[in-house]
Chain A
Amino acid sequence: MQPIPTIAEGPGTPSLRPARLPGLDTRTLRTVGLLLLPTIGTLAVVSLYPVFRGITLSLRNTTLSSQTDSFIGLQNFRTLLADAQFWNAWRNTIEFTAVSTLLETVLGLAMALVLFETFRGRGVVRASMLVPWAIPTVVTSKMFGWLFDGQNGIINYLLKGSHLIQANVNWYGSTQHALQTIVIADVWKTTPFMALLLLAGLQSISGTLNEAARVDGASAFQYFWRIRLPLLMPTLLIAALLRALDAFRIFDLPYVLTGGGPADSTETLSTLTYKHLFSGLQFGFGSALAMAMFLTELLIAIGFGVFLLRRMRASGG
């Protein structure tokens, strides 16, 4: 029997057709170029160009209100390094990023493990978990403003009812608790999403491993710790990295809930930059701040990437 030639060439398998060397066929190349043009064009104008413009702006003293606009080299960055407000925002941002990412990853993993079991109504539970993700962050800020209201908030009422606190806590109105409130709101909004990501990761791990481990007499805990968690680790770390990069940019929640206050205790790098840009109209200095932020984020990504590679190599990947 003759093999049917077209079937052998399934989707995704590299083409067996001879001589159509990639990149040599100019007609194909032109077609692909035209297809990509709208996307590449948009991204070049709206994402790439502004980054380069931002770099040049960060080396100028451009201020929209006073019409000053000249090249000043690294002066903005020198000012920045000596700026207490900048370092305060930097610390707040790092603290927020670290705590919220950690909580969201751990709680998200716990939720994913629950959701992994089959039970009646699982679809409904999974659907409900999309609600926090879908709600606009500005609305989330207002929601948590009401939940954590110092006077009539339900959280204070419940905590007092269960004798965990004696008197009302002024959550986002006090320097002590404001950043905590923002962490809580962010953890609420993002944990279910994290759980859905990790659930997808868990579901891609083969079920036969489960049976093999059970036959070998492994306890549920051993199974989780020795088999599931290591297999899930790449997904877990990547999800945490993406989350951390996103958390680092936090803007909506503090801007709407506290405006960065009280006494700058919830000022993050994004809110501080925004204020310099659009309240102070200092486009030069504000851009320097944004670039410092960009650099920090790049360092986080690289650090995480190196860690991830080492881990993968160590586990024999």
Chain B
Amino acid sequence: MIVPAIVFFACALLAVTGAILLILSREPIHSALSLILVMIALAILYLLLGAEFISAIQIIVYAGAVMVLFVFVIMLLNAGVEERTDFSKLAKFVGLPLGFFLLLVVARWLYTSRAGSVIGHGAEAVTQGFSTRALSAELFQQYLFNFEATSILILIAILGALVLARKNP
């Protein structure tokens, strides 16, 4: 019964490590590979939460399609080592500590808030996962209009990308 805890902490460590590597690496291709690591760790966490369909489309759409697009553009543009520029003193000595402070406050609020603890106890009652059948029924009945609207959104995105990528006359 200790296995879910081990899987959770291993995946959490993997995801945070990947995010830190994304910040620290100076080659864009290394950033892309560490982002893929984060996405795969999150897909395993979705499986742990019982959302199989979301886990599958996380792998297929994010790690498969979107990140392949990123890697393709990085290789197409031959993106090399990122230049470093100096930050202002204000950003370095005031912005960074305030940013970490905000992060700590948000994490502490999430951890100690009444909502979090109540939800934490409530979740222990739930044992079975979400069924993909119920999810698709929800998606194609209650959210049908939104689903059709996203198809228009995708169409507009394709047209926008085509217009932007067209050679200038």
Partners in one complex: no
Give me the interface of B with A, judged by CB distance under 8 Å: none
Task: Please report A residues at the B interface, Cβ cutoff 8 Å.
Answer: none
